Amino acid sequence: MAFNRFWFWYSTIALLLHATTLATDCPESPTLLHLSDGPYENYFYSDCDSSSHIIVTSPLPNSNLDLIGPRLLVAWPAGNSGIVSIFESQNGQRGTLGIHLGDSSSVETVAPIYDEGKPYPEVGVTSSITFNNSATLTVPILGSIRIIRDYTEGGRYLHPNLQAANQFSITTDGGATINRTWLDGATTTWLTFTPMNGSDPIRINRDNSPVLLFGAGTYSFSASFNYPQLKRLSPKQVLNQASIGLIDAQPDETNSLSFLAYSDKLLAGAWRFLTYFGRDSMISLLLLQPVLSDGQGGAIEAVIGSVLERINKNDGSACHEEVIGDFATYMNIQDHNLVSDSPTCDYKMIDTDYYLPVVMKNYLVDTEAGKNRVSDFLKTTASFLADNKGLTYEALAQITAEKIMQTSAPFAAPGGQTKANLIHLKDNQSVGEWRDSGNGIGGGRIPYDVNTALVPAALRAIAALSRAGFFTDHPEWATVADTYADVWEDYTLQFFEVVIPQTGAVSLVKDYVNQSKFPGPSQTETIQSDIKFYGLALDGGNDQPVVRVMNTDDCFRHFLLETSNQTQLSSFLSQTADNILQPFPVGLSSSVGLFVANPAYGGDPSYAQGFTRTDYHGTVVWSWQLAMMGAGLARQLRRCEADGVPVFCHDESLYRKIVAAYNHLWDLIDANKDQLGGEVWTWTYNNGFQAAPLGDFTASESDIRQLWSLTFLAIQRETFKQYRLNGSTT
């Protein structure tokens, strides 16, 4: 999965000839980023007026044609909007139609559309597309990225009422236009194709559903809409002054970050998640904070403010995903029989709540810039959700903190350390934390990461915020929250612990290799002792008390907590190091990175079937988990260089093992630099692992750029000394 990265800075008039009308007040030159991830070619265009992401998909000789076909997709952050055009060869033979952006005899070009209009300008992009033979545009979807996701990931489902609103027309120059007015009755999306260089005129076949017919050749296209735009943060605006040098050092990553950063929120990823996701925003902030801009109008406050804006004031839940644009109108009609584009929120996740106190504490308590902004920031009144209008950020933050304190109290109470008092998924929900695919936590109801790391981290943050003068209605939280955190830190791990005797572990791994048809070696000769790990969840889909899947979620506890139970800390670090150092399928390590799940010890065929290289949270690699694991182990190792050195620092064998695991992890990170900016990747095996796009095997293709996958801008490899038992260092 090699990414070819190059920037085109537009400074010539020739490139702008495609533009409809150019805005004249943009202070910086527009930019285009091209990222190649065959069969996907990605082009990002941004200026001060709008941002666009173009994806041209053309199957490769080895592509799975049931999943991958010729496609032109344009995604816009504003309104989480976009268009997709699905093409087929007119000869009916799959795999014979190839498409690419731009005239094959010239440099690929993308230019902006900007046409003044009321109440909002028409904005978008224009370029050209070339077909190697005659093509049919069979499926156009115009309006919402959520609807496009329904089609690409939902078994090719089309919403008939929305598709019926598409209008087709032939233009006088032999081209064709498809347009659709949104459900709000005011916004329109346009997609126009025009023949170039003597290519055949476009024809419309109106039998059944209308389709457009193209000849072989090149056609210019324009994709635009008239919807209020977001205020993008330029690379200089999204980074703090000390990190400006990253713009020249890492132009791909910094400009990708800028594409996802706006004055009132950061977006999760392009193209599938080009909108607010609370968990993604806050995890990204936790990892990226050292390089992000602070103060009013900065990226840090954009993240925290966006979460506070979307709090459910009735129960304190933080918003997982916002529902905006045409999809908001669609859902308001479906749910309330009301034609309204008012945004709403999805509150089904349980983990998002716990990040909020942590990011608030890290900024508003731990930094000078944040301390100086406390009063003004907390006095800000919410305006995004109708239900929250007039409420201050301070009030909304307290509502969420009250929820956390109330729900964590039963487990923290004397004698309350029972499974029933742990945090469960919400009723009638099968997902609730970052592994939010259908089988992400193996059908479990009580997630490992939430209970062992996120809850105590939030409690520690609430205590620190209270001591700093926050939550004046609850002064007792300054001590009570810490007391609760002590209990959650010390007594939750035991519920998730899995220990498998050496002989049984060897047998289980061999069984897994047979069940999963894993083509590589079993590596069972490396099992020299019992296997220990902490399972993904409790109360899974079988009779086992723990979902026995080894995983990378140890990273949350390493990154978020500095626990004081020395025996437990040493044991926890030891098993993490073991599982990082051991090769898959014994451990988590492969040459393409750490797999986020290893089901080899499940002892149930359903594990091998449910956690595969084609599953979103299966035996695949996620960039941000590598970053958090690296940052978490570094945090623990740095404790050995400070006062109050933990016991593990003086255990020479254990300390060296942890350093070895840390360095091995970074060797894997360095070896997979080309993949790091993407969301998730999988593998093929041929005398070893080779990285491969997840979209080669499943309809859930990976985003080429994901917000939390850009965190290596801030997370860097560190060097740690080896400590001897006598306290000397080498």
Domain assignment of residue 526, yes or no? no
Residue 690 and residue 703: Cα distance in Å, rounded?
19
Question: 543 pLDDT band (50/70/90 cuts)?
Answer: confident
Report the percentage of the chain scoring pLDDT > 70: 95
Question: 585 pLDDT band (50/70/90 cuts)?
Answer: very high
As a whole number, the mean pLDDT across the chain is 93
Report the percentage of the chain scoring pLDDT > 90: 88
* 687-705 burial: b if 16+ Cβ within 10 Å, else e: eebebbbbbbbbbbbbbbb
Domain assignment of residue 498, yes or no? no
Residue 238 in contact with residue 297, Cβ under 8 Å?
A: no
Q: Is residue 262 domain-shared with residue 209, that is, in the same domain?
A: no
Decide which of 538 and 18 is more confident: 538
Condensed to tens digits (0 to 9), the pLDDT of residues 629-639 reads: 999 999 999 99
Domain assignment of residue 424, yes or no? yes
Q: What is the pLDDT of residue 303?
A: 98
Residue 308 and residue 207: Cα distance in Å, rounded?
50
Q: Examine the pLDDT at 486 and tell me if it is beyond 90.
A: yes
Q: What is the pLDDT of residue 103?
A: 59
Q: Is residue 257 domain-shared with residue 216, that is, in the same domain?
A: no
**Tokens representing 486?**
């002590």
Q: Is residue 202 domain-shared with residue 311, that is, in the same domain?
A: no
Q: Examine the pLDDT at 19 and tell me if it is beyond 60.
A: no
Q: Is residue 55 domain-shared with residue 24, that is, in the same domain?
A: yes
Peptide bond into 290 cis (omega under 30): no
Domain assignment of residue 285, yes or no? yes
Q: Is residue 595 domain-shared with residue 674, that is, in the same domain?
A: yes
Q: Is residue 246 domain-shared with residue 219, that is, in the same domain?
A: no
Q: Is residue 281 domain-shared with residue 144, that is, in the same domain?
A: no
Q: Is residue 264 domain-shared with residue 158, that is, in the same domain?
A: no
Condensed to tens digits (0 to 9), the pLDDT of residues 180-214 reads: 999 999 999 999 999 999 999 999 999 888 999 99
Domain assignment of residue 542, yes or no? no
Q: Is residue 313 domain-shared with residue 209, that is, in the same domain?
A: no
Condensed to tens digits (0 to 9), the pLDDT of residues 275-305 reads: 999 999 999 999 999 999 999 999 999 999 9
Condensed to tens digits (0 to 9), the pLDDT of residues 663-708 reads: 999 999 999 999 999 999 999 999 999 999 998 898 888 999 999 9
pTM here is 0.95
**Tokens representing 720?**
């740690």
Sort residue 96 into left (φ over 0), alpha (ψ -120 to 50) or beta: alpha
User: Residue holding tokens 């592994």?
Assistant: 435
Number of domains the chain is built from:
3
Q: Is residue 216 domain-shared with residue 270, that is, in the same domain?
A: no
Residue 113 in contact with residue 224, Cβ under 8 Å?
A: yes
Q: What is the mean pLDDT of residues 478-504?
A: 98
Condensed to tens digits (0 to 9), the pLDDT of residues 109-168 reads: 799 999 998 899 999 999 999 999 999 999 999 999 999 999 998 888 899 999 999 999
Q: What is the pLDDT of residue 108?
A: 57
The amino acid at residue 549 is V
User: Residue holding tokens 């929305």?
Assistant: 162
Domain assignment of residue 537, yes or no? no
Domain assignment of residue 450, yes or no? no
Domain assignment of residue 479, yes or no? no
Q: What is the pLDDT of residue 542?
A: 86
Domain span including residue 140:
6-225
Q: Which of 169, 195, 225 is the last residue of a domain?
A: 225
Q: Which of 225, 255, 287 is the last residue of a domain?
A: 225
Q: Is residue 46 domain-shared with residue 180, that is, in the same domain?
A: yes
Q: Is residue 568 domain-shared with residue 598, that is, in the same domain?
A: yes
Residue 214 in contact with residue 190, Cβ under 8 Å?
A: no
